[in-house]
Amino acid sequence: MVAGPVAGTLLADFGAEVIKLEQPGKGDPIRHSGPFCEGESLYWVVEGRNKKSITLDLHVPEGQELLRELVAHADVLIENFRPGTMEKWNVGWEQLKAINPRLIMLRVSGFGQTGPYSMRPAYDRIALAFAGFLNMTGFPDRPPVRPGTAIADYQGAMMGAFAVMLALYARDVGKAGGRQIDVSLYESVFRFTDVMVTAYDKLGIQRERRGNSHFAASPGDHYLTADGRYIALTIAANNVFSRLCAAMKRPELVDDPRYATHAERVRHYEAINGIVAEWIKTQAVDAVCAQLTEAGVPHALVYGVEDIVRDPHYQARGSIVTMHHPKLGDVKMPGVFPRLGNADEYPIQPAPELGADTEEVLQELLNLSQGQIESLRRAGAI
């Protein structure tokens, strides 16, 4: 529901002409996902941006034929159905590559196009569980914790957009023709589980929930301040630990054999982490952040959205942009990332109304007459 469409959004943000194909009368499921403002899905306002929308019903032969005609003019087709769905509609990879041998077809699914689980339905949380991510997220004495945003969906979208660009480059420099790309949500997460499998393979280590501790950081945690906020710290390098000790006015800790090296600090994690926690909880946020900043210690206040929209760094970099929406007026949302030169090169256009571009696309891309378009509409194809 998210990964495939957002892969299209990422490409659209950088100037690709992306034509969103939607079910007549229903539209993309994201249009019906909250939160809503004045009847508009804010999810759609963000992830439908920079696209055109046409309606097309793949359940009817006329709609299937229309897609085949569109594909003849396309560089890329993105689909996010369960494997086999496009084939059922007579618009699978074999049929489409015969029409356009240069076509790149990105196929996004929960478990991939092959394998014994390929036909299983999946959403973000299911992929996170299957990839081993949830098993190491949370505290050891409590159930696994879902992250606060759709990590698998968005990593799947990034993988998809990345793969499309690789395939287009290989095609356009003559190293390959069109190709089918198989992106699964679980593998998009699994690739970022760092050494989990390798450590198990070579050392028998089974990664489990450790709360906020991490084998590469000691001390490291989300520390409570005197005024009830949390500060994130990660200390691995010895010189950074020395700077932290200077900020705490505890220089003797640098020469303590329990804390002299990163390996020793990991062995004595509870002790050194407790010392840092005690120091931070006696101070308000502003005071402790000022000391850490002066000492050059990497840290961040654990931000909520109100902190983000007020922060001068977000403002200076234009991380949040304002787009004018025809119904909602000015709407703030994340900008276009990553940055390629001047951000002004990539203006954001509002997410389209359902089917807003159907006639324009069919007339300009396929040279269909008004009469032909009306015939398709009567047949329920658009």
Using one digit for the tens of pLDDT, what is the confidence trace for 283-342? 999 999 999 999 999 999 999 999 999 999 999 999 999 999 999 999 999 999 999 887
Q: Please report the pLDDT score of residue 342 as a whole number.
A: 79
Ordered by where they begin, the domains of the chain are 3-192+352-378 (3.40.50.10540), 220-302 (3.30.1540.10)
Which residue numbers are catalytic?
A: 153
Percent of the chain with pLDDT over 70: 100
- pLDDT surpasses 80 at 343: no
DSSP per position, 214-249? BTTBSSEEEEEPTTS-EEEEE--SHHHHHHHHHHHT
- pLDDT surpasses 90 at 344: no
Neighbouring residues of 287: CB distance < 8 A, sequence distance ≥ 6: none
Neighbouring residues of 111: CB distance < 8 A, sequence distance ≥ 6: 117, 118, 120, 122, 130, 184, 185, 186
Residues 276 and 221: beta-carbon distance below 8 Å: yes
- pLDDT surpasses 80 at 165: yes
- pLDDT surpasses 90 at 216: no
As a residue count, the chain comes to: 382
Q: Give the angle subtended at the CA of 191 by the CAs of 176 and 205, to the nearest 5°.
A: 145
Residues 332 and 321: beta-carbon distance below 8 Å: yes
Minimal CA–CA distance to 228: which of 158, 301, 295?
301
- pLDDT surpasses 90 at 85: yes
- pLDDT surpasses 90 at 345: no
Distances (CA, A) of 304 to 146, 220, 309: 17, 20, 9
Distances (CA, A) of 364 to 66, 73, 203: 14, 11, 61
Q: Please report the pLDDT score of residue 18 as a whole number.
A: 98
The lowest-confidence range among 90-99, 116-125, 343-352 is 343-352
The lowest-confidence range among 151-165, 188-202, 335-349 is 335-349
Task: State the Rg of the chain over Cα.
Answer: 26
Q: Which residues of 263-280 are buried (b: 16+ CB within 10 A; e: fewer)?
A: eebbebbeebbebbbebb
Q: What is the pLDDT of residues 25-66, one digit of tens each?
A: 999 999 999 899 999 999 999 999 999 999 999 999 999 999
Q: Please report the pLDDT score of residue 81 as a whole number.
A: 95
Question: What does the pLDDT average to over 276-281?
Answer: 97
Neighbouring residues of 28: CB distance < 8 A, sequence distance ≥ 6: 5, 20, 22, 44, 48
Mean pLDDT of the chain: 96
When pLDDT is cut at 50, 70 and 90, the band that residue 192 belongs to is: very high
Query: Which amino acid makes up residue 94?
Result: E
- pLDDT surpasses 90 at 375: yes
Copy the structure tokens of residue 314: 């977000």
Q: Please report the pLDDT score of residue 215 as a whole number.
A: 83
- pLDDT surpasses 90 at 200: yes
Question: What does the pLDDT average to over 353-376?
Answer: 96
Burial class (CB within 10 angstroms; exposed 0-12, middle 13-18, buried 19+) of 115: exposed
